[in-house]
């Protein structure tokens, strides 16, 4: 039976919550690009059953997304 990966659903939820353009800019930014690659590698490892029990792979990536996107999102508030 395959493992569920809570990190994948968390990332999907976060992507829906962020403005899509800002999210894309964040993923492509120099600061976050390495973390996106690390996240994708980790997701592949977990989906192949080689990760740790409960490994989610999103912690570092979410910090980068938060730091990059939050100021841009709050700047759009009235």
One pLDDT digit (tens) per residue for the chain, 78 residues: 444 444 444 455 454 545 677 777 777 777 788 888 888 888 888 888 887 777 778 777 777 777 787 888 788 888
First CA to last CA across the chain, in angstroms?
Answer: 49
Tokens of 43: 């997701």
């Amino acid at each position: 039976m395959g493992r569920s990966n809570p990190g994948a659903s968390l990332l999907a939820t976060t992507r829906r919550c962020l403005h899509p353009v800002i999210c894309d800019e964040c993923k492509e930014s120099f600061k976050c690009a390495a973390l996106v690659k690390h996240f994708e590698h980790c997701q592949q490892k977990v989906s192949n059953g080689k990760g740790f029990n409960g490994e989610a792979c999103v912690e570092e990536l979410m910090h980068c997304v938060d730091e990059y996107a939050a100021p841009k999102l709050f700047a759009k508030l009235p």
